[in-house]
Structures are given as structure tokens and as C-alpha cells.
Chains A and B, each alone.
Chain A
Amino acid sequence: MTAIAAATADVVVVGGGIIGCAIVWQLAQRLPRTARIVLIDRGPIAGATSGSCMGHLMVTPDDAQEYAFSHASVQLWRELQDQQGGFDYNPTGALYLADDPADIALFANLQAQFVACGDRAEILDQQQLRELEPGLAHDLPGALFYPGDGVVLPMTACGAMLRAAQTAGPRVDVLPYTPLTSVLREGDRITGVVTPTGPISSPNIVLACGVWTPEVGALAGLPKLPIVPRAGNLAITAHHASPIRTQLLEISYLRFAHGAATVDPTLIGADQGGHAVNMQPQSLGGCLIGSTRQFRGMNRELNHELLHRALLRAARYAPGLLDLPIVRTWVGLRPFSLDKHPLIGPWPLLRGLWIAAGHEGLGISLAPITGQLIAQQMLGLPCSIDHRPYLPARVVA
């Protein structure tokens, strides 16, 4: 597993987060045994956003395209669980909650969206909610339950994808602590990368660097890619009995998260930040609590005020949380794409350069389908869903 042994490759994936690992996994399933895939990262695997995020597998029924995109990815997660496991996969479903009368009306809207996509979701009354989640506040008016969502532990999922890739056939070299120092090109095509331990010649490079993709893209001579960090503050409890068994989401999350942004994301300091509860039961009995959102550059200091509000809100829904010990809090950076869709596919002006980044808070959920779309496009195979909305060509000025 040295850089010398991997001095030539068919693909070099830059970035050992969930997106890069999913690409390696999906490529390895499709490339011949003689092929070589190299993954490099400047730090450890899962050392950045994928090591500091929540693990929501989320089906989004906004429209048929979004549904197909997210649903296909959650299916692939199930396949990885069957094939490899080891990442605390838990198909809890998702409970959408509200306590505001205006928000309660959204249950029926969201249910209708799932139905329109040919799926189902169930509106629970107060009694049914109490039976499903006895630990929730007893005055809640009800909830919407969608059975198709799940929870994973993203850090160990990265390793599961890499291990699945290493047993798939092609040679897979994983090189943590190996930064990209420059990109080799001849005319309008990629010929390799340079790292401190030597060059690796390769006809294909995939940039899967999350919020750092613009910075790494600049090494390949790309214009500034439209991805900005969006910070989230998180907290996790000790391994006591979690007050919840199902993943919880405040339904107001939908108008606040992912694509939604009420301020100019590029103006640092303009965003006061917002929050909507997302709580996930963890495999060892802990409870992970998010989610806040704020555009404030690469700053990874805790925003105590925002986290304070998020915890207060979480305790409104699950009062038992108040007595549970918090073990730690931290900040992760979501890669927010300015036009609200991830960039997945070839960079049209440089042959062999591929981009997979900008998934905001859905990177974990959408990683497998992202990996699959990159692999299918690179090998000229038909794509499993319509890939065109995500092509990076749209941001070429």
C-alpha cells in the first residue's frame, strides 16, 4: 500500500469522505480486475465532514426526480448493509414532528408528496405517536411517520465502502495523509496527480473534497466552484437509554434545510443561523442531536447560542433529554451548492477531470447514488437515474 506501488492508476479519487469512498466502491464493482483505483486524502479517512455529521438516510419526495435520486441511494445503502455491514445501519424510519398549528398542516402535504411518488407515509394521532415513541412530550398533536428512512454511522460507513471495494476485484489503494499537491495535465486532458510521496499517473481524477472542492479545484486550474460551507452544531449524549427509538425531524426542517437559504450564502457574517430539530438514536444507546445551519465560512468554533436553541427545542420534543449527560459537542461543515443541487459528473473543459461535491446536508444519504452516477458515466454505461440535473457543465460560465 505505498504510493510507489500505485504510481499508475486508472482513477485517482481525491477525498476520503463518504462521497469519495462511495465512488471507489461503485467503481470497483464495475472496473475489470486489472484496473487500479487510488484514493488519496490529506488527512485520515472520514476525517472532515463525514466524521462530524449526522447519519440520516433520507428519502426526499419534493418531486419525481428528487425522489428517484434519494430513493435509489437509500436502496444502495441497504445493499451495502447486506454485502458488508459494520456501520450501525438502523432502518428506523423517520418521524416528522411539529407543535405549531401552521406546521401541523404540513403533515398532509408531505404525505401527499410521498403518495404522488408512489410511496407511503402515515399520519399518526396523539395516541399512535405515544405508542410508537413513549418518550416524546405527551402534548404533541401527532406526527407523520415515513418508514423508508434510516440512520448510519458515516465514519465507519466510509471504511465499509472501501472494504467492499477492496474485495470487489480491481486493486484499490487507500492513501490517507497523502495530500494532492498538483494536477498533471497535457493540453485539455488530465494525466495524473502529484503528492508529497511522488506522482501518480492516471487518466481520471475525481474531486470529492466537499467544502474544500473549490480550493482543490483551483489546483487543477478550475474557476472557483460555487460551493460554500454551511456550519452545523451537534451534540451527543452518553450511552444511556436514548429517549427515542426512531429518528426525529421537525417538519419545519424541510423549509429550512438543504436547498433552502434565506440569506446570500456567500456573505459571511450576514447569516444569524437557524435550527430545526433532528435527533438520531445511536447504536450504543446514545442520542445525536442537530441540526443548526449557518453560513460563516470555514469557522469551526461552536456557536453556543445556536446550539443552545437547538438543544432547548430538542428537549421540547423529548423532555427526557434534559437529564441525559452530553458527552461532547462539535461543528461540521456542509458543502452547500449555490444552485442547490450537487455537482456530479465530468468537468467539460478538462478531459478526465470529474467532480462530485456540494450535497449540503444530504451527502451521507446521497453518497451511493453519487458514486454510482460517476462510475456509470466514466465507463459510458447507462445511468440508473436521470443524471443531467447534476452535471457540472451547468456552472461553466
Chain B
Amino acid sequence: MSGARVLEAQVGIVGAGPGGMAAALHLARAGITVVLLDEGFRAGGQIYRQLPEGYDAGHRISEPPSHRAGNHLLDAVARERIRIVHGATVWNARPGQIYYEQNNESWLLACEQIVLAPGAYDRCVPFPGWTLPGVITAGAAQVMVRGFAVAPGQRALVCGTGPLLLPTVTALASAGVKVVAALEAAPRSAMWAALRGVIGNGARMREALFYARSLLRRGIRLQWGASVFAADGDGRVQSALIGKLDQQGAPRPETARRIEVDVICAGFGLVPAIELGLLLSCAARYDAPRGGHCLVVDEQQRTSVDSVYAVGEIVGIGGAEVAMAEGRVAGAAIAARLTSVSFDPRLALHARSERRAADAMLRAFQLRPGLFSICKPDTVVCRCEDVTSSQAAAAGELYGRTTRGIKMGCRAGMGPCQARICGLNLHDIFCDGVEPDLPVAQVPVKPVRTATMIDVPRR
């Protein structure tokens, strides 16, 4: 128990994705010492995920045009020699202190200011068979393809909703996976709404065009208003039942058909990873289109806690461009605080316009309530505690129809994921008419060894 494992920096940043890296770059160029903490092996976050160092996949995974900005950022961060701690699990934080576990060691990053850029979690609406091996999230598919150059299967169904489906389809296809079907749960009108939202945003238009061409070249047609209904197989996924959705988003059983696949990549949007912010007592609010509870920030990305800033998905799902723009704002705002440089308000204007475009897109892809009826009474809704939909419904009936009541009645949401996976689903399926309970932030925000919690470095 040395208690000596302490890093110091003027600014500690959680997350080395586009938001965290943009903030770090801005700060480092202003002469401010920065440490980036990241769970991954390499910088880039979920979106600009890189293969492990020195790893040759033998084939090239196609990259959308937006990744050029990510590559520039990665290069710049490397040139500035910004310190990145990889494989770091942040488990506790208070203003000025970030506690993390790395290689089974307990560390403290002591810093004056904190930037939270932890990203988001995949959301999956539960459907029969979704716990079978071979059903993975859209995010997991990206990790396998971009992070390890591994194809998750031979024949894939990609389903869910939102702008992340297209990168998933192209990533899988470029890794040699045959995409048998690509189903978007939103109606076709969402496409026009989303396109209207991005008109005038050149980068987003180019991105949309890239994906359209990419699908066309491979003969993959995105089906609107359609979804997976069930996954089937003996011990692992062998087939999927798919079909069309009605006006409310509910499955139309008469359209159901079975397709043979060995992997299902489901992505029903993303949920902001706000737990560190809650632990730091940052104010949060519920914003359904932005993915759930989001931290509240001012125009300089400052949270309700003076020394804590938040950028990217934690403020609301928005994608890499938003995160990068907000990261620059937070970096500039902190630089203005710690040095004599003044804050350039144009950065904030740019971030706001990126956020507006993202919001328009998200509104178009909101989950429709009918979709939750793909979840059947015996479908598992909480995977950690193995709770079925009917058990959760019975718990809500007796204990109170809130996520908290359901949790008390059947332990849904009490396992290692601490309701990150099931929380919003429990609300949307069972708690009609009430706003979701704000999640309670409890240490550790991610599971860490008891030894890590005991052997806390002190200052």
C-alpha cells in the first residue's frame, strides 16, 4: 500500500475521443499541462478507434470522410506529446481529484480543472433472443471491426435506429461480412427530416453522400420502418425474424419473415454516460431526443460545478463533430481561466451550430413507443440480474411504476452495469407518464477491485 501513485496536471480529461482530444490539444497549445484518461488501448474513442499499435489487419477498413478530421486530431495530439493514460478505469471523482484503476493499480489524478468527455453507451431495445451469442450492439460491431480487424460473423443483420447504423453497415461490409439486411426502425420521413436538418452543413452532407454511395456499391438497401422481431438459434444466433413497423412503430406480424444470419448488430441509439458528472454533483436534465439524462452546461461547456466541464455525448448525443467543437470550447474556456489568453466566442458559435444540426437529426430518429412491443413477457430486460419483462411488470405493479420501484421489486438494474443498459428501457416499457428517475451515482461508477478501493492514493 504505497499510496504514492499520484499524477498531477492542471487539467484532467476523462475520455480520449474527439471531445477530450480537442480539449487537450487546445490546452496543450496554450502551455497548460494536461492528462487524458482513457479506457481503450489507443486514443480515438469509439468513433476514431484505432487498431492496436503495430497490428496489421491485412485489409483496409473503409473510413468515411469525417475520419480525416479524426486522424488530424490524433496526429496533433501525438505531436504535442500530450500524456494519455490508456487502460484507465475511472471509478471515482470529486472536484480536483480523479481516481482510476490501471493494470490493477489504484491511481489518483490531481488536477485543478476537469473535462468530462466519457462518451455514451449503446442502447438496445430488448427482443426475444437478444441474449443469444451472436447478438451484439452496433458499437460492439465497430469495436470488433475497427479496433481488432475481426469480422463478427459471415452473414449479418444490422438493425435499430439512428445515424450510427450506416457506419456499422459499411464497417461490417468492408471487413468482408455480408450484410443480409439493414433495417431502420424510423419511418422514411425521418430521412427527409434528417436531411433537412443537415442542409448547409457541408461535412454532414458529404458524410451522407459517402454512405449512400457505399451502400449502393454493395447492393445493400436500407429498409425504413422495419426492425428485428426476434433472434433464434440453438446455442447461438442462426436466424432472425424481421418485419415492418406500423405508424406507432409497433411490429406488423403479417409482414414477418425469417432470414438466415449468424450475427445481429442492433443499435437503438446511444445513452449519455453521465455517471461521473452525477458523482461530481453536476446538474443534469432529461432530454429524450438527446438520449436520456444529460449534463447541463453553459455556453463555455461549464457544468453547474465551477471546475468541471463537459463536452460531447455527456451533454447529449451529438456525434464526433459536436464533441470536437465542444472540446475546443472547453479547452479555450479553461485556457482563458488559467492564462491571459481571451476566449474566442466564435468557437462557441460553431459548437452551437454543430449541436443544432445534431439535434435535428436526433429528433428525426426518436424511438416510437410501439417499438417496445417487440419485447415479450419472457424476454430478459435486465441481463445482469436475469429479470424478465413480466417480472419487471409485476414488480412495477406492486412497488410503484418507476425505474426505482421496479428495481426494488425485482432487482432489475442492480448488477454490474448499474442500469446503464436496462434503465431507459425499463422506463420506456413500464413507466408510462412519469419522467425517468435521475440515476443515482454510486462509487465505483465502473466495477473495480476491492484492493483498488482500499489502496486509495492520498494527498
Contacts and interface: CB of A to CB of B under 8 A. Distances in A.
Interface of A: 41, 43-47, 51, 153, 155-156, 158-159, 162-163, 174, 176-177, 235, 237-239, 284, 302, 304, 307-308, 311-312, 315, 321-330
A316 B1 CA distance: 14
Nearest to B441: A328
Given A284-B385, A327-B415, A51 B408 contact: yes
Contacts of A44: 399-400, 402, 404-405, 408-409
A156 B415 CA distance: 15
Interface in B386-437: 386, 395, 398-400, 402, 404-405, 408-411, 415-416, 418
A43 B408 CA distance: 11
* Max chain B C-beta neighbours (<10 A), residue from A174, A308, A328: A328
B416 A162 contact: no
Given A159-B398, A312-B454, 19 more contacts: A41-B400, A43-B404, A44-B399, A44-B405, A45-B408, A47-B408, A155-B411, A158-B408, A177-B400, A177-B405, A239-B415, A284-B385, A308-B453, A311-B454, A315-B451, A325-B448, A327-B416, A328-B442, A330-B440
Contacts of A41: 400
B415 A311 contact: no
A177 B399 CA distance: 9
A153 B395 CA distance: 15
* Max chain B C-beta neighbours (<10 A), residue from A162, A302, A323, A326: A326
B174 to A, nearest CB: 36
Contacts, number: 109
12 contacts: A43-B404, A44-B408, A156-B411, A159-B398, A159-B399, A176-B400, A235-B450, A315-B454, A321-B450, A322-B454, A324-B450, A329-B444
Contact of A176 (B384, B405, B447, B448): B405
Given A44-B399, A329-B442, A159 B409 contact: yes
Contact of A163 (B398, B411, B444, B454): B398
B450 A47 contact: no
B418 A311 contact: no
Contacts of B398: 45, 159, 162-163, 174
Contacts of B448: 325-326
A46 B447 contact: no
* Max chain B C-beta neighbours (<10 A), residue from A176, A235, A315: A176
Contacts of B416: 238-239, 325, 327
A238 to B, nearest CB: 5
Contacts of A155: 408-409, 411
Measured as residues with beta carbon below 8 angstroms from the partner, the interface class of chain B is 20 to 34
B399 A45 contact: yes
Interface of B: 384-386, 395, 398-400, 402, 404-405, 408-411, 415-416, 418, 440, 442-444, 447-451, 453-454, 456
Contact of B449 (A45, A323, A328): A323
Contacts of A45: 398-400, 405, 408-409
A384 to B, nearest CB: 28
B385 A47 contact: no
A308 B456 contact: yes
A34 B454 CA distance: 57
Contacts of B450: 235, 237, 311, 315, 321-326
Nearest to B101: A325
A326 B453 contact: yes
B402 A302 contact: no
Task: State the 8 A-B residue pairs at the shortest beta-carbon distance, nearest first.
Answer: A176-B400, A44-B405, A44-B400, A325-B447, A45-B399, A322-B451, A46-B408, A328-B442
B249 to A, nearest CB: 28
Nearest to A328: B442
B442 A323 contact: no
A330 B449 contact: no
A46 B327 CA distance: 42
A105 to B, nearest CB: 29
A304 B408 CA distance: 25
* Max chain A C-beta neighbours (<10 A), residue from B384, B398, B448: B398
A322 B454 CA distance: 9
A43 B443 CA distance: 23
Nearest to A283: B411
A319 to B, nearest CB: 10
A322 to B, nearest CB: 4
A158 B229 CA distance: 36
A326 B451 CA distance: 9
B372 to A, nearest CB: 21
A308 B453 CA distance: 7
Contacts of A302: 442-443
Given A315-B454, A330-B442, A322 B399 contact: no
Nearest to A330: B442
